[in-house]
Structure 1
């Protein structure tokens, strides 16, 4: 965790390392708030570092380390409210926002830092990959609220598809890693296991990257994280029309939640997704609540069911609810 510890002043670094000890694998976040104790969020509990409350100069130190003493080079990232560092760790920021004509131009006087620890959870996709495949992979949308493990699950799905599983051979996978979180590339080389047949376009906007990868790497499966804007949807449609299978994530509490968003109307009208993976908050990331087929039926086998018995519970909505968006 050297890439994280280098962000802190020396005294604070030593205190953090003592407090965390050997528990790095269960650490989810380090939240630093000026003039308040540091918060450590683990898988099962939250703890506080009270020995050394961060002062304003500690916040300046953190910001200088994040920007390598050049806030100008981070101007675009500051507009988004987060910075991605080596290893795919994301640092969220909060403070005073500067706007121009109603648009965010920058965040200054930063007083809160949320360091989200990126970790590979190998194996979490193993129990679900068979639901995403039938001779070829299904177009799949992973739905989850923040901190439910969307990116973690997406990363492991890439590993399984790009390496192969059971009697299924590996296929060519392309990742558009806009925020350098999925593969955690350093100088273009993935630091996480994303599959032996997987290629990465690192730090590239999704809207440009999808077609770039289709033209240059001829993938069979395209993986992107956190679609949300109209431009994302248009790029996704273009990729789908090129015959590539797409697996992507979106922020939301449920399928019904995202069906209400006007941005996604075109996706529902074209009925592009065959599978929806709905995540839930658990003590560990990537907890799957249900996997829905294109009709909204839950197809995940219940624990204790016979081998061929599936949970096809009656959905509370029809095919995408196009008429209700």
Structure 2
């Protein structure tokens, strides 16, 4: 991890506390600042309070400084991103915020009186998708694949490496053109329009665009062989996925969930399973650890990879 990209947006007092606590930044996942509350960090899947018994209490000034540094003192320049509650900084790291919503015609326009900041560290784990390729290909043809896990268990990390390998090509598959609809700037981690994560030489990214609209735009403009999206769930997403499949695109997507049984119970995913829209389901149980891979019928193919 290029730690300076994250540390430079933190106030000096917070930065010093973190530097005292951490020997390596590879496992750092989140830094949370809440006004009047202890500084929190998540490393290696575990949350803890730095300070060795003497926690650092975050001040309103700490939060304000962090926002100023992250936005280059111009939060309104990030108004489009702020509607979703975060901005993306160089390196693809996400700075999430909460406060009072500013509404315009019933829609969130921006935030003010920001009291909490959550810095999510972008991690690339190149090679983490190696183990799934024997299961998501048949006669060297990519299967429509859905990755399922609870939040924070690595589904975006796995998706990112699948995109990279499919785009570049590997021992299992010839390189293919991939279109990525990155609604929340989390897959590519675009900063000023440039992807900060490695997604391969044949990948085109539509950043900050709603998934359903973006999929149709990519099909019309870039002729992708594969379309990848993160965290589907709305009915309009499903309609766009069906359209993309009918156009001959192979689909890679992620969805929140904990098991194949839970997927069957949900109205949207249950209907997709009934119609066998996806041909492979990869279930993660934490830190990109695979709980099981299932076929289009929901039958277990491989467990605990």
* CA–CA separation in structure 2 for the residues paired with 1:102 and 1:198: 36
Match of 1:111 in 2: 115
Whether the 8 Å CA contact 1:230–1:264 is kept in 2: the answer is no
What is the TM-score normalised by the length of structure 2? 0.87
Q: Is the 8 A contact 2:290 2:304 kept in 1?
A: no
Q: Which deviates further from its counterpart, 251-260 or 111-120?
A: 251-260
Match of 1:259 among 241, 264, 267: 264
Match of 2:37 in 1: 36
| Structure-1 residue corresponding to 2:25 | 24
Distance of aligned partners of 1:255 and 1:178 in 2 relative to their CA distance in 1, 3 Å threshold: same
- TM normalised by structure 1 equals 0.82
User: Is contact 2:276–2:297 with CA below 8 Å preserved after alignment?
Assistant: no
Cα deviation for residue 126 of structure 1 reads 0.3
C-alpha distance in structure 2 between counterparts of 1:96 and 1:54, whole Å:
19
Q: How many residues align?
A: 299
In the TM superposition, residue 99 of structure 1 has moved relative to its aligned partner by: 6.7
Q: Distance in 2 between matches of 1:10 and 1:235?
A: 46
Maintained 8 Å contact 2:188/2:199: yes
Distance 2:154 2:246 in 1: 29
Residue 198 of structure 2 aligns with which residue?
Answer: 193
Quote the Cα distance in structure 2 between the aligned partners of 1:127 and 1:160: 12
Name the CA distance, whole Å, in 2 between partners of 1:298 and 1:183.
31
Q: Distance in 2 between matches of 1:87 and 1:119?
A: 9
* Uncovered stretches (5+) of structure 1, i.e. residues with no partner: 304-325
Deviation at 1:37, TM superposition (A): 2.1
Q: What is the Cα deviation at residue 100 of structure 1?
A: 8.1
1:159-204 deviation digits (Å, cap 9, x = unpaired): 2211222253222222112222212233433322222322222222
* 1:69 Cα offset (Å): 3.2
Could you say what secondary structure the match of 1:208 adopts?
helix
For the 8 Å contact 2:29–2:45, the answer to whether it is kept is no
The 5 Å alignment of 1:223-262 reads 223-262=228-267
- The separation in 1 between residues aligned to 2:29 and 2:110, in whole angstroms, is 27
RMSD across aligned C-alpha pairs, in angstroms? 2.5
* Distance in structure 1 (CA, Å) of the matches to 2:62 and 2:304: 50
- The corresponding residue for 1:295 is 297
Aligned position for 2:164: 159
Measure, in 1, the Cα distance between the counterparts of 2:108 and 2:191.
Answer: 29
CA contact (8 A) 1:33 1:54 kept: yes
- 137, 144, 163: which one aligns with 2:149: 144
Which residue pairs with 1:15 in the alignment?
Answer: 17
Structure 1 residues 119 and 72: CA distance shift in structure 2, 3 A: same
CA distance in 1, matches of 2:179, 2:269: 23
Aligned to 2:64: 60
| Structure 2: gaps (5+ residues) | none
| CA displacement at 1:247 relative to structure 2 | 0.4
CA drift of 1:266 comes to: 5.2
Change (3 A) 1:84 1:186: closer
Aligned to 1:271: 276
Q: 1:259 to 1:154 in 2, by over 3 A?
A: same
Matched residue SS, 2:151: coil
